[in-house]
Amino acid sequence: MTPASSTPRHSRITGTGSYLPPRRLTNDDMAAMLAERGVQTNDAWIVERTGIRARHFAADGVPCSDLALQAARAALESAGRAAADLDLIIVATSTPDMVFPSTACILQAKLGAAGGAAFDLQAVCSGFVYALAVADSMIRAGTARCALVVGAEIFSRILDFDDRTTCVLFGDGAGAVVLEASERPGILATELHADGRQAGILCVPGTVAGGKVTGDPLLKMDGQAVFKLAVGVLDSAARAVLAKAGRSEADLDWLIPHQANIRIMQGTARKLKLPLDKLIVTVDEHGNTSAASVPLALDAAVKTGRVKPGDTVMLEGVGGGFTWGAVLLDF
């Protein structure tokens, strides 16, 4: 008999959760708000270029950890776990509550789950995919058994509302999963990459020094450069992670890419020869929620009965850094 200690250790998603702030802004709402600043846009222009029809903004004074808390509680309930069961919390965010401590530590206190490791991970829109890969590695290594992985963002506070090419794209929200040690494979393979030479095409080039903001604290993006890079790297990451797992495109039940732009998402699906009805889309209602977009879309797909136990799912992220990655899993 094989000793128990040599039993292969894997990780599986056992629960999902999400949260969107109550304030929902349609494209018409955004157009009216921007018109007061002398900036012109309209629903047709936004939908044609992005597929976005609405997004949610957090209320003033609500911190990122509060959004994460709601998503975390939902994921724990879905998994049938209590906060006390957690021995690892990773929060992927580019909009933390403060410089330090980490939003993960703040979330840990709000959950009442003190004791396990807790830290933030910053890979912008790829953040959740990165965080899930890290949590999977820690569980496989035996340093964690029950992890909470959260993507949470309040991008509305770093937008330039005088730039219609960027401010209409983003929204706020949070998504979370509970990832647990298992003898049965769940996460099959991961693939992570970055190219810091492309840092300037999507960034917030400001910081805090001497008690003041230095540089520009608002989001800047070269949309054409991002689009060109995103489709190529998402395709290469998808093929790499399938190869690692010994799977093919035909094995995929669902593709859940970063929800940034419907044209990038559909382009990725076509390159993989996937029918578009296997593509999970929430960008129309959520906008680009950065690190929150993939777990928000995953939870929506689970809640609506599309993603079911036994399905093979690919998660993909791409964002500032320039970062990108993929996770292949059996749900």
Q: Catalytic site residues?
A: 125, 258, 288
- Which of 162, 155, 153 is closest to 33 using CA atoms? 162
**Distance between CA atoms of 94 and 107, rounded to whole angstroms?**
15
Pairing of strands 54-57, 88-92: unpaired
What are the phi and psi torsion angles at 312 (to 5°)? -100, 125
Tokens of 45: 């222009």
Angle at 275 between CA 232 and CA 277, to 5 degrees: 115
- Which of 71, 126, 113 is closest to 293 using CA atoms? 126
3-state secondary structure of 279: strand
Query: What crossing angle do the helices spanning 127-141 and 293-303 adopt, rounded to 10°?
Result: 80
